[in-house]
Structure 1
């Protein structure tokens, strides 16, 4: 893609850094007078097949961290020679104040990076690294770009932004930032607090994406039930559980806390029992010797309803807890103004609809035996404390919010909320960090229309003939109430959304209609291939910042600039600051843009675009942020000491437990009633659902609702497999897909049960086509007994690679997903019916020349 060949390659930079070591080695060989067995002095070597590896005393060691939202952010230690990172290691106990080699305690565990983070050097120096600004010269999606200067690229973007705002109004630009590749307290990509949202909002042209793909159904449930998404314990609380139910959760792949696996191991050693409810027998189940309960996908709420029936009918509920803390669990806990409305217990017992939600009723839907449903219900209700960890995956489905709301009802009726070793998760966010170093004020999240993230293509393709409920429109004010966004451009920052949202073929159709697509990334991704402008963004190794834990964990990791930015890379903050100055100059009469540059980045002048100046400004922002940490969180360590040690680990007198103060001290929950709302007066009070962001009715209590597609659906006769798309262990969504080391370890493949494989005449390693009426993709098949018959597993995040006929050769399941709106915003990533057949079409696991990942080759040989 780069048409200039006058710059040194990355390989040359690495080779140059090691040249001195080669010369020293050659001198050593000559001085030693080594001779061959025949006694002849060997000739001077011209080349070596093996390069002597630099030792630690020859390298500079710099503490830093990983950057992605895999479920945590761990520590990385960069070992560099000159300005080249030679290798990466991780926390060994030495880096916090008072630390020492090997320190690893229950209060201060090591923040060890996984293999994804440890492989980051391959991503940093990958062939797909974006080094220069690029403008598209071929058709959109062709991948044809030319190298241009920063001035050319930014002038092009600023002019197009100004034109789109003038011609189409304040909703013309869609913000598709996410916390993928740019996430720190200063250089932040995020839907809510991110740099892009602040930039487009201050510019006065922004359509927001309000739904989070990972856990929107879960977020809705937690806010409706508890009034907050901070419903999680810190991960050290798992060590005190007597029973842990991993519902759709595989912590070996998706951590949900940097040290969760460590604390769960402590629980196992202390006698905790483990249960896995999942269509697939996972590595986590094997490690913890869990009781595996295979379940039909998307039927989790029905099984939970069957458990609730057993608990109620056998009087195993914690009635004292219900009476004191819960709203709407039964008749006597209903709010007076809704005394005649349906309560949860009456629904479960069938008193309102004539259908008791018995274990037998649930078994017919979910495929789990009635005996096992009753057994699990009794085990959960009688084991104290017990943690029902209702993970996000089952909620990434049609009506996924009902699964999470049903889980919350089980947690409440058994009294396991606010108790050490229990659980109210849900979303599971726990300790609250000081997460933003740049100004976070009224300009931080301005938007002029907001839609459900995966409905943007539907909005573009059908504008203006779009009903607000079809896109989940959320108006900002009365002036724009009900006005469908007229989207003409997209900004991708820190995200590969085009590869990750539902129904990619529909996205491809829609993106051809746009007038501006900007991709800001360190790597040329599948999304980038569909952009008009590629802006090279520095990685977290090439800028100064502080890393936050993600999801769980209570620590900060200093993230210094380890190396200078490669090529012409700039930080997101530099790019937006420079664009702000250019946009102000293009619209001198626009009062809203007066002093846009200084207001966007108040600590900097326009010289901030120069790297040597930006380093000083970034330091000033971070010093001021650390002062907030000291003032608000009681940290006494100085900024200089934090930089010296590299990590600050908080310690607490007792594990942090969500809602402990509500249960032990009587503080109100953050709901309207001050209680856990199993019955929602807010939902019950909505009369016109089309005027809400949800668009369609949502029941006031948790209920089982038949999904769009399932194995119980008539459509299963045509497409007999229910496909689920879990997170893989070798990627964080699509990040790391272009690292050959990881692909060779874990190939992209579709997993099916041995009985299904026998029926189809397939064996492990055969190439198959997975297809439905929305798309087709090609992958190898893996045959096992570790998945329920009729279920197929295809991990999300593979970089799409379409052939001329629109078939994805890389195995991206989002060519098969449905983009229909689930009312509360849940993405239907796991609501997919497909069929599978043998094919002669080629599978391409990556953008390199390896036809098949080595793991598949080796596995086939055996």
Structure 2
């Protein structure tokens, strides 16, 4: 008999149909106006051949052999073992590393996307377990927004993510705004997801409301499809990595014509005079005018001048997307976008001013936040050491080396044991060949995984864990005003256990099970966290008790209302009474603090720095195409690349790469041709899609295809499947943030010559018993 159960995921809420314990299908909810197609595709992956069904240990590690030849991580066979043996191996290795090398030698790697649940959050479970055991080296910031997270607190103050509640929401934009310039676009595909879960998708309809209200949009991006067709956006193709130059040219035009908001700049900002001198070229003799910007960006002088006029004459909003800061000097377009909005005259006015990350998830711009929701309780980490998130390969390759980070000097720790849970570094890290070399250096790599993806294949000990469909929990999305029940849909595959179950068993062997579990079962934890949330919200929230919530599947949280700390409207009204949490209490167009760091790649005000790789540089003579490795439409990062929706998007089993027809014609490439994308760092195969939605000189290859090297562990080897991080540079944005610069990469593309190698991304390694 079929049962229908609520399912909450990072890409929305669905209904799972189960028959006799077997997952039959996943259906959209009737109340979701724009359901993601990723959800139904989860059925394909639930029991596919890539599932990790039993604990497994790399043969070379188990035999104590040196990491070389066929015993290398990524190229070795695995031996399946019992849970008892696996837990003994992990607990003893944790104990040995801590005793011999100290707690900082343990790296707690996780990116937290494994489940939408409040309790079964992989990152929270791992960090709680490791902290109670003595501590661990942590990572700081995210691959998505590292440059933004570091620079914005200097410029507008507050927590790195506080800007989310300080920028206009879509409904305010529809009511009050007239003109929006979106640097990096507004790709609607990205709004499928929400970290922590999602009740229903609202971004599409909110954007439609803005267009119906008469708001005009300009898409400044190398990709036309970075705005939805219904927005009728004006497309200004821009040379990748030159957004800062475009903004400077617009700002210069405002300044010399007297169109800028002198009153706001004088009362609510500091350092404009020093920045204006840079704009005018008083120090370097180079005015950053529209002609200068046009030569760099490929946007015409008249178009830049027109943007300056419309931004200042109309109620306007400057948007900047996350993609533009995942590049060389990625802090600069974020900082400069704030300055441009401050100059334009609409900063702090309803529905106008500045905002970042619109449409990057179905949360930003939808609601300013949500009330407190309890999650697995964190434990203070006794180890103070950390690394910037994108510097993991540096830490493994160069322990003891010092690097700059946000005004500090960090010493990279010696990492002997890497414990990864809930993430896939062989997806989101850059230059995977360099990461492969780095990955051979620690003594041991432990991974929790549900599937034999690349990270599992590069581990020493792989512990099979349940998916979000195989455990009870509840979801609470970022800024989403709903709680959604997540009852277990099916039993875990094979011998899989939940992350919490695994950590509780390890904690028992290490002597702190009681502290880790607090004497609660998993079901008791889920109930406890819900009731803790209910108690914290008080009687006014009127949340049902847990049993009623579980029966009805959802509950609505009270809406948050502003003004919020650091509100730009309050600043505009009275900067003395409502200062920002910056050193000056105002927007820091010039930051004395950043300037004092003395970084040669991040000055005290927004500045144009030529990227290491871009179409205006010498390297473009050899590699004349700029690679845009943006977020995929068919999955979340690398999650469910083996799902039905992602598999259906492949071309001859490879990830699609979009190329302009003029670039394709000169290379003899047709629709559906399997091509080799390459540079000096590596190469990969992909299936060509011809479209004038990408500007000439640009190719677009989404992230997330499971990396499938022909010779694992051999640097530079061909990737059969189409992962762009075979090609990207493991190079920091700057010394300020040390963030990733994935979108600063040049490549060339050619027709693949010869037989097509079989894609083995979803094939488990050789397994022995």
Establish whether TM, by shorter chain, passes 0.5: yes
SS where residue 253 of structure 1 aligns? helix
Moved more, 414-423 or 296-305: 414-423
2:392 aligned to 456, 459, 466, which one? 456
**Paired residues of 1:501 and 1:814 also in contact (CA < 8 A):** yes
Instruction: Give 1:290 deviation, angstroms.
Output: 1.0
Distance 2:589 2:758 in 1: 48
Structure 1 match to 2:66: none
Distance 1:379 1:703 in 2: 23
| TM-score normalised per structure 2 | 0.87
Residue 128 of structure 1 pairs with residue 31 of structure 2: no
2:20 aligned to 74, 79, 82, which one? 82
Instruction: Give 1:654 deviation, angstroms.
Output: 7.0
Residue 796 of structure 1 pairs with residue 703 of structure 2: yes
Residue 647 of structure 1 pairs with residue 554 of structure 2: yes
Instruction: Give 1:224 deviation, angstroms.
Output: 1.7
Q: 1:284 to 1:786 in 2, by over 3 A?
A: same
Structure 1 match to 2:174: 239
Structure 2 match to 1:170: 103
Q: 1:482 to 1:402 in 2, by over 3 A?
A: closer
SS where residue 405 of structure 1 aligns? helix
Instruction: Give 1:149 deviation, angstroms.
Output: 1.9
Alignment of 1:313-352 (within 5 A): 313-328=256-271, 330-331=272-273, 343-352=274-283
Instruction: Tell me how many residue pairs correspond in the alignment.
Output: 717
Q: 1:533 to 1:629 in 2, by over 3 A?
A: farther
Distance 1:474 1:703 in 2: 18
1:675 aligned to 574, 586, 589, which one? 586
Q: 1:521 to 1:629 in 2, by over 3 A?
A: farther
| TM-score normalised per structure 1 | 0.78
Residue 750 of structure 1 pairs with residue 657 of structure 2: yes
1:381 aligned to 289, 302, 312, which one? 312
**Paired residues of 1:402 and 1:704 also in contact (CA < 8 A):** yes
Residue 556 of structure 1 pairs with residue 472 of structure 2: no
Alignment of 1:180-579 (within 5 A): 180-190=113-123, 194-228=124-158, 229-232=161-164, 233-240=168-175, 241-255=177-191, 258-282=201-225, 284-328=227-271, 330-331=272-273, 343-384=274-315, 386-426=316-356, 430-440=368-378, 443-464=379-400, 466-469=401-404, 472=405, 483-550=411-478, 552-579=479-506
Q: 1:769 to 1:148 in 2, by over 3 A?
A: same
Q: 1:90 to 1:744 in 2, by over 3 A?
A: closer
**Paired residues of 2:43 and 2:644 also in contact (CA < 8 A):** no
Q: 1:716 to 1:251 in 2, by over 3 A?
A: closer
**Paired residues of 1:78 and 1:562 also in contact (CA < 8 A):** yes
Q: Larger relative CO (CA 8 A, sep 6+): 1 or 2?
A: 2
Residue 600 of structure 1 pairs with residue 516 of structure 2: yes
Q: 1:174 to 1:831 in 2, by over 3 A?
A: same
1:759 aligned to 666, 672, 675, which one? 666
Distance 2:572 2:554 in 1: 33
Coordinate RMSD, CA, aligned: 2.6
- Which of the pair has more CA radius of gyration? 1
SS where residue 523 of structure 2 aligns? helix
Structure 1 match to 2:532: 624
Distance 2:605 2:373 in 1: 34
Distance 1:630 1:167 in 2: 49
1:242-274 C-alpha deviation (Å, 9 max, x unpaired): 223232134321117742221001111111111
Residue 826 of structure 1 pairs with residue 739 of structure 2: yes
Distance 1:754 1:788 in 2: 9
SS where residue 182 of structure 1 aligns? coil
1:222-246 C-alpha deviation (Å, 9 max, x unpaired): 2222213221244444433322323
Structure 1 match to 2:93: 160
Q: 1:270 to 1:559 in 2, by over 3 A?
A: same
1:323-344 C-alpha deviation (Å, 9 max, x unpaired): 332222x23xxxxxxxxxxx22
Instruction: Give 1:170 deviation, angstroms.
Output: 2.5
SS where residue 742 of structure 1 aligns? helix
Unaligned stretches of 5+ residues in structure 1: 1-57, 94-109, 332-342, 476-480, 585-595, 605-612, 690-695, 850-862
**Paired residues of 2:294 and 2:300 also in contact (CA < 8 A):** yes
Residue 701 of structure 1 pairs with residue 566 of structure 2: no
**Paired residues of 2:119 and 2:525 also in contact (CA < 8 A):** no
Instruction: Give 1:374 deviation, angstroms.
Output: 1.1
1:338-373 C-alpha deviation (Å, 9 max, x unpaired): xxxxx2222222233322110111111111111111
Structure 2 match to 1:722: 626
SS where residue 793 of structure 1 aligns? strand
Unaligned stretches of 5+ residues in structure 2: 61-70, 195-200, 359-363, 764-769
SS where residue 224 of structure 2 aligns? coil
Alignment of 1:726-737 (within 5 A): 726-737=630-641
Distance 1:626 1:544 in 2: 18
